[in-house]
Amino acid sequence: MALRVKALESLLVEKGLIDPEAVDAVVEYFEHKVGPRNGTRVVARAWTDPEFRNRLLADASAAAAELGYSGRMGEHIVAVENGPDVHNLVVCTLCSCYPLPLLGLQPSWYKSAAYRSRAVIDPRGVLEEFGVALPEHVEIRVWDSTSEVRYIVIPERPQGTDVLAEEQLAALVTRNGMIGTALL
């Protein structure tokens, strides 16, 4: 594949369709400038600032932009909140839609046939494969990303974290927690 991709890249450069340095810059952007760290800061702010939490639940794209996070595939973000009786799980059964400005690129498992096929028909079984066993009384809300709306889960704030500052709280938040395949 490496040779075929290189050949296409050279051809597109020769035809003036792309700037080769822009290819490097895009790779650099996804490897180093966007990622789940953005989402962890949004979650930590929501945990510590009730007004921000309300704005996030009302319009997550606008709230994330307050912290400087926006971009393609983040035009219509919806935040869904976990609680003692509700657990949210995000999937895209038709392709691999994902809230890119807040989480970066998808992990392989999110794009896999195994996850995409079963998240909607057997969410509890899928969660068990991630080591998450939810009590039977917990309602599971699966969000299948069929439109340009993108979903991010606000996990429950772990107990005993009252004394932590926002930055320390952000460090507790995981990517899988924001997809719904992990508890914190």
In the window 26-45, what residues touch other proteins (CB under 8 A)? 26-27, 29-31, 33-35
Contact letters (x/-) for other proteins, 107-136, by CB under 8 A? xxx-xxxxxxxxxxx-xx-x--xx-----x
Q: Are 170 and 44 in contact (CB under 8 A)?
A: yes
Q: Give the separation between CA 163 and CA 168, rounded to whole angstroms.
A: 10
Give catalytic residues, as residue numbers: 92, 95-97
- Number of chain positions touching other proteins (CB under 8 A): 84
Cα distance between residue 9 and residue 15, in whole Å:
10
Q: What is the DSSP string of 2-71?
A: HHHHHHHHHHHHHTTSS-HHHHHHHHHIIIIISSHHHHHHHHHHHHH-HHHHHHHHH-HHHHHHHTT---
Least separation in angstroms between CB 170 and other proteins:
19
Stretch that binds other proteins, among 47-55, 101-109, 156-164, 166-174 (CB under 8 A): 101-109
**Candidate ranges 45-53, 71-79, 154-162, 166-174; the one touching other proteins (CB under 8 A):** 71-79
Among 101, 155, 177, 180, binds other proteins (CB under 8 A): 101
Q: Which of 52, 57, 67, 96 binds other proteins (CB under 8 A)?
A: 96
For residue 153, the tally of other CB atoms under 10 A from its CB is 25
Q: Which of 52, 76, 164, 172 binds other proteins (CB under 8 A)?
A: 76
Least gap, CB of 87 to other proteins (angstroms): 10
Does residue 94 bind other proteins (CB under 8 A)?
Answer: yes
DSSP 64-91: HHHTT---TT-TEEEEEE-BTTEEEEEE
